[in-house]
Amino acid sequence: MANKIKIDKLSLFLIPIGIAVNFIGGQIALLLKLPLYLDAIGTIVVGALCGVVPGIIVGLVSNVLNSISDPITLFYAILNIMFGIAAAYLSKKGVFKSFGKTLLSSLLFALIGGGLGSLMTWVLYGFDFGTGTSSIFAIPLHETLGLPKFLSQFIAEFGMDIFDKVLTVIAAFGILQAIPTRFLAKLPLGKIYIKDADLALEDED
Amino acid sequence: MDSEFINSFRSYQKTGNFWLDLNPITKLNICLAFAFSALIMLDWRYGIPLCLACCVVALLAGKFKVFFDMYGKVCMIVILFVTIVRQIGMRTGNVTPFINIFGWQWYLESFVAGWDRITFILGFSGSLILFFATTPMRDLMYSFEQLGMSHENSFIMLASMQNIIDLKKASVTILESQKSRGIETDGNILVRAKAFFPTLGPLLLGAIASTEEKAIAMDARAFSVKRKHTFLRELAPASTTQKTLSIAAWVFCAATLVFRFIR
Amino acid sequence: MAKIELNDVSYKYPYTKNQALRKISYNFESGKFYGIIGENGGGKTTLCNLIRGLVPHFYKGKLKGDVLVDGTDIRDWNLDELSAQIGYVFQNPFTQISGIKETVFEEVALGLENLGVPKEEIIEKVTNVCKLLKIDDLIENNPNELSGGQRQRVAFASIISMETEMLIIDEPTSQLDPEGTRDVFGIIKTLKESNKTIILVEHKIDMIAEYCDEILVMSKGSIAFSGPTHEILSNPEIMEYGAMMPQSAIFGHAMADAGKPLARIPITLSEAVPLVKDRR
């Protein structure tokens, strides 16, 4: 973890919240019986507000904590880390300021989640299908359409992930819009999300 | 005041159980070495004894329930999925009929390959679940801090775990109040997906807003003061015997690697 | 030397229109107990944030004028060091619990651990504070499962154990039930006897009347009134600035209006009783 890299004070305290949000997203999805993970909202919000390093930490620690009850998820930490990096990058480019662009960004996140995810599954499960729900779609794709196993797995995971990530980025967008200005002012990338009317106040006197 | 409780801080924390009282770093070394050995061997004849060994250690440590609550679930899913997937995936070429379940022909080679993979995953998972089931996170963080990790990292880890507990409770409460306010939480998938946002939103914004106060409160507790910390609750440092155990575990892991190459 | 010297201080939070503090000049002396009252949004908490160095270090924004803590300008203080020297307890009992300790005893010890106090000394100090604040029956409990009132007492204990020379207490009872409020009153009384420099922001005016040496009434970012407690709290004008008067003072004024004045306007019940007796 970031021993030598200095994290600013508020980001440090936002990281545990981001990690908890990753878990709660999944928990609420479960309570609402949604067949989705929704477990990267915290990573994306923290990445977007605090930058690359906090984003990476949220992703990494979330998976470490998840691995307590299911250690194999440790290998998928790389996905969550990539989400954090991507979120920080897109945030700097101003992507999360526009709803349309935010929606589009779900494609990138799903590509990371589905692509990297199926690759990881592919290796871990001996070049075969994994134990995730995506196999329910991947196996028929392989069996009935005769697609190669990896391609079936990729299509299934990417297809499921796109729904997941659309909901995820919408949630992240809503949160970024709703955070009060005084709070944004103290975060490394917070300025990006301060409304123009508030920015104008600072230029006076 | 309970002086027995207060006195417990005056000496190293001990439970009297050999496995539980191992230094967390020693335990981590042993468990990691065996976890990787399962990945290296990829053989059910190694994997099954390893999985059983994890269960036995958990039993001896008196933590079998915690351990098996997690491990049992993982076992069930992995065994079921991988067995079936292998039977679907490997049924051509040089295969020997094994059993027939209601007209579904199973083959021996794919069954064995399945179990090699199952124990690959379960050997790895078992070793790590054993570690976490028998090592409190605060003890692990304490040990890392002794090795020079910053207390901020400890804080991130421990505060996250508490936040998860707190926010989980809150999410159930919010969801219930949403229901009573008439927001539909049942119905088709789109309706339920829509209910996701008003549930998560207030929870998250509240949590984010509280971080400012948390930062201020922790500063008042000298959290950011650059000084060497002391520890009220201490664990015994790893003895020479324990260090030897760690090294032995990794030597064993390396040996499995050599074995795998020779074979 | 004054503990804290404010000289013509103005401050504006970032991205806001109005100044949160306007031209404030005041000296806080060592060992005195100060009460800050006045309307919501009048600048009470901002003043606390200023004294602790959170303004401008943490909140950023524009600070004008001189703020001297122990003779050193606030801008030259290291925030991390300063905040460890000024104890701080505030409204929300939930955010003040660290969330990383499993027993109250360890929670109270956290600040001392961070300061590197030797273990035996920690045990002694924590034991004493827990006895002093009467939370000895809670020491083995999980601080994350306590009630709001219990948490607030633990928060006080955690700060008091660090033995800072100065304490800032910002509306400690506003989120507590009557029982929790009574416990906190008890703690404030204990603190009063310790001769620390204390700044208390509180709406419950009877508590202010009982313990404070000096009062500041804040309104719209300025100090509207300041002076000895008796003088300020018996002045009905403070009510025009969102501050309340103690019941006894209201009674005293009502008696005067009715043509039956007491010898002076009382501000506490214990002061009012003999005055009423004398009138007979």
Contacts of A186 in chain C (CB under 8 A): 58-60
Strands B104-107 and B97-101, by their bridges, are antiparallel
The HSE-up count of residue B184 (CA atoms within 13 Å, CB side) is 9
Say whether residue A128 is in contact with chain B using an 8 A CB cutoff: yes
Distance CA C149, CA B142 (A): 30
Tell the burial category of A145 from Cβ atoms under 10 Å away from its Cβ (0-12, 13-18, 19+).
exposed
Does this complex have an ipTM over 0.85?
Answer: yes
> What structural domains and CATH numbers belong to chain C?
2-245 (3.40.50.300)
d(CA B55, CA B124): 13
pLDDT tens by residue, A115-128? 898 888 888 887 77
User: pLDDT tens-digit profile of A128-179?
Assistant: 776 667 777 777 777 787 778 788 888 888 988 999 999 999 999 999 999 9
Residue-averaged pLDDT of chain B = 91
Instruction: Answer whether C234's CB lies under 8 Å from C267's CB.
Output: yes
pLDDT tens digits, residue range B55-76?
Answer: 999 999 999 999 999 999 999 9
pLDDT, greater one: C37 or B1: C37
> Is the pLDDT at A3 greater than 50, yes or no?
no
Predicted pLDDT at B2: 67
Q: Do B125 and A71 touch (CB under 8 A)?
A: yes
State the pLDDT at residue C34. Answer: 96
- Is pLDDT of B223 > 70? yes
- Residue B67: the pLDDT is 96
Query: Does B217 contact C83 at a Cβ distance shorter than 8 Å?
Result: no
List, in sequence order, the alpha helices (H) in A32-148.
41-50, 52-66, 77-92, 99-110, 117-124, 135-145
**What pLDDT is stored for residue C137 in this prediction?**
94
Contacts of C257 (CB under 8 A, 6+ apart): none
**Structural tokens at position C131:** 């006895």
Percent of chain B with pLDDT over 90: 68
Is B65 in CB contact (< 8 Å) with chain A? no
pLDDT at A112: 94
Q: Which residue has the higher pLDDT, A67 or C83?
A: A67
Query: Tens digit of pLDDT for each residue in C78-115?
Result: 888 888 889 999 999 999 999 999 999 999 999 999 99
Q: What is the pTM of this model?
A: 0.92
Residue among B175, B181, B218, B179 at smallest CA distance from B199: B175
pLDDT of A204 above 70: no
- B77/A131 Cβ within 8 A: yes
pLDDT of residue B98: 77
Q: What is the CATH number of domain A9-204?
A: 1.10.1760
Q: Is the pLDDT of residue B90 over 70?
A: no
Q: Do B156 and A124 touch (CB under 8 A)?
A: no
For strand C197-201 and strand C33-38, is the pairing parallel, antiparallel, or unpaired? parallel
pLDDT in tens, A78-89: 999 999 999 999
Which percentage of chain C shows pLDDT scores above 90? 81
Task: Name the least confident of A54-58, A112-116, B60-64.
Answer: A112-116
Average pLDDT over residues B118-123: 94
Average pLDDT, stretch B138-165?
A: 96
Q: Check CB contact under 8 Å for A185 and C60.
A: yes
pLDDT value for B93: 66
Confidence of residue A2 (pLDDT cuts 50, 70, 90): very low
Distance from CA of C55 to the nearest CA of B (A): 12
CA distance B143 to B199: 38
Residues of C in contact with A194 (CB under 8 A): 15
Eight-class DSSP state of C161: T
Tokens encoding B41 = 């061997």
Cβ-nearest to C13 among A9, A182, A194: A182
CB C11 within 8 A of CB C56: yes
The CA distance from A86 to A80, in Å, is 10
Could C17 and A186 be called an inter-chain contact, meaning their C-beta atoms sit closer than 8 Å? no
The C-alpha atoms of residue C24 and residue C9 are separated, in whole angstroms, by 5
Residue B228, number of CB atoms within 10 A of its CB: 6
Cβ of C95 under 8 Å from any chain A Cβ?
no
Measured CA to CA in angstroms, residue C124 lies from B222, C87, C118, C156 at distances of 19, 19, 10, 17
3-state DSSP helix/strand/coil percent for chain C, to nearest 5?
45, 20, 35
